[in-house]
Amino acid sequence: YILMISGISLGWTTVIGHNYFHMRNSFRMYYFDLSTMSSKDWRITHAMSHHMYPNTLWDFEIYSIEPYLFWLPDPKKSLLKGIISQLISPIIWALALYTQAIKRYYSVFFEYRKFEFRDAVPLFLPISMSFLAPSIFVAVKLWLLIILTGSFIFFMIGFNAAHHHPDIFHDGDIYRNDFDWGLLELDAVRERTVIDDSDFLVLTNFGLHGLHHLLPTVDHCYLPLCEEAFQQTCKEFGVSTKKFTQWELVKGQFKQILRKERKKNIR
């Protein structure tokens, strides 16, 4: 139970850390590095790529898991491959942090990337655990199990938070005539009921995601203050703010893996 609670806490802490690498440097952005992922790398792949071009070919996160998960609509998709992707999704969620750690330290030690303080942060957990564990080997084993659980929690939340559903725009769909950047951001996400009503869930589950994409450098604790103006502006310009339930997005993410047909924007 302690391992499970620790893994969940690590997953939530990683989501919280994502809030801070969108802003100027502070010690809080290193919360993200506890997971083995690099806040420096994610400022490029997430803040500069995913946030600027969500669900398009310029979004690194849309194809970073290929060929295991393929979210873009494609008439050539294989049904069998899609079903296999659905089945192995939980395994990918659980192992993703291990692959991130391997890539991170391989680049540090074998590609001559400069070792930085943030590269030492993931080691704080096993080192601190070793002072209380019977041996360093036990501490490392328990740490790896915490990473496994934290990885599952973080990527389960991330992949099912807002972006993947057959009714959400993905590159290949027919886009609206107005190429406004803000509309692209909103067409590529959906807000969620319940999650968006709790400050804690907003912070730990990528809540108020549409607002976050429009105002990525605004701390999550201030996003609820913008909600009323956001709703009024969308209503004024005829932009739907319909919310999905978390369960709808979970089901939709698995449906999106199988989706072949390209749709016209329906928001």
Tell me the per-residue pLDDT of 88-99, one tens digit each, with 9 for 90 and over.
Answer: 999 999 999 999
Q: Tell me the two tokens of residue 227.
A: 């909600």
Q: Give the global pTM.
A: 0.93
In a domain? residue 145: yes
The CA–CA distances, whole Å, from 110 to 34, 41, 56, 102, 104 equal 22, 17, 32, 11, 10
Q: How many domains are contained in the chain? A: 1
* Residues 6 or more apart in contact with residue 46 via CB below 8 angstroms: 18, 21, 60, 61
Is 221 in contact with 23 (CB distance < 8 Å)?
A: no
Local confidence band at 64 (pLDDT 50, 70, 90 cut-offs):
confident
Please name which of 216, 240, 189, 212 lies closest in space to residue 55, comparing C-alpha atoms: 189
- Distance, CA of 161 to CA of 58 (rounded, Å): 20
Residue 42 lies in a domain: yes
264, pLDDT greater than 80: no
110 falls within a domain: yes
Asked whether residue 266 is assigned to any structural domain, the reply reads no
User: pLDDT tens-digit profile of 226-258?
Assistant: 999 999 999 999 898 999 999 999 999 999 999
CB atoms within 10 A of CB 178: 10
Q: Give the model's pLDDT for residue 267.
A: 60
Q: What is the C-alpha to C-alpha distance for residues 31 and 19, in angstroms, rounded to an integer? A: 10
In a domain, 267, yes or no: no
Q: Angle at the Cα of 63 (from 84 to 240), degrees rounded to 5?
A: 100
Q: Mind listing the pLDDT tens digit for each residue in 151-194?
A: 999 999 999 999 999 999 999 999 888 889 999 999 999 999 99
Residue 266 is predicted with a pLDDT of 59
Whether 111 maps to a domain, the answer reads yes
Work out the pLDDT band at 108, boundaries 50, 70, 90: confident
Token pair, residue 118, equals 């943030």
3-state secondary structure of 119: helix
Q: Is residue 78 part of a domain?
A: yes
Full residue range of the structural domain in which residue 21 is found: 1-258
Per-residue pLDDT of 201-233, as tens digits, reads 999 999 999 999 999 999 998 999 999 999 999
Establish if 263 belongs to a structural domain: no
